[in-house]
Every structure is written in C-alpha cells, then in structure tokens.
Homo-oligomer: A and B are copies of this chain.
Amino acid sequence: MDITQALTAFAALSQPLRLDAFRLLIKAGATGMAAGDIAVALGAKPNTTSQNLAHLVQARLIFSTRAGRSIIYTADMQGLSALLHFLLEDCCGGRPDACASLIETLAPCCPPNSQNTPKDLTS
C-alpha cells in the first residue's frame, strides 16, 4: 500500500453514494450484491451507481465478478485491511494501550476468542 492508493481509497469513501454502497457491501458479506440491486437499495441511477462502484474497485475496497448478465460486487476485506494497516503504521510506539480503543471497536464484531467459532450458523 502506497500513499497514492490510500488517497484513492479515502477519496472513494468520501462521497455519500460510495460510502453507502461500501457499507451496504460490508453488511452483505461474502455473498455480495448485483450492481442493479445496489442501485435500487441506494435509490440511485444505474449509470451513476456504476461509475461510483468503479471508484471503489479502483480503490481496492470492493471487487466484482460476473454472474450471467449481472455483475456482483463484494467488499474486499483484504484491501480494507491493507488500508487500515497503512493508516495505523507505528501507531503505538511502544505503548499499545494508546490504541486499545481501536481494538475495542472491533471486539464486538470479532471477539478474539471466537474468530473461528461463528456465533450462530444453526438458524
């Protein structure tokens, strides 16, 4: 991750439609969503949505795969991880407690002891 790509990523997230789209895809998970469904969900026009999704792809925040006539967009967790790593590089400087609140932020989502034991896959 270089600074140019990080700037591209943050610029991608600094526009309402794109931020909404990315958060929608975060919630959608690994299944992803078709471009058309994203446009409907966000109440935006297909061409506008398409151009904004292209921004997110270039920023490596999402990726696309074709499925018949549809194009499925999915959040790129690896890309997001690289971005956060770039942003937080050397954040602690010998004092890990300085960013403990960041860990707490992710804790409700991914508690350390349950990374490989999903809460509920029976329902």
Q: Residues on A close to B: CB < 8 A?
A: 3, 6-7, 10-11, 13-16, 19-20, 22-23, 26-27, 29-30, 77-78, 80-82, 84-85, 87-106, 109-112, 114-121
Contacts and interface: CB of A to CB of B under 8 A. Distances in A.
Given A29-B93, A93-B27, A10 B13 contact: yes
B96 A114 contact: yes
Given A7-B16, A81-B102, A96 B110 contact: yes
Kindly list the 6 A-B residue pairs having the minimum CB-CB distance in the complex, ordered from nearest: A11-B14, A10-B14, A10-B13, A81-B105, A81-B101, A112-B112
A77 B91 CA distance: 10
Contacts of A117: 96
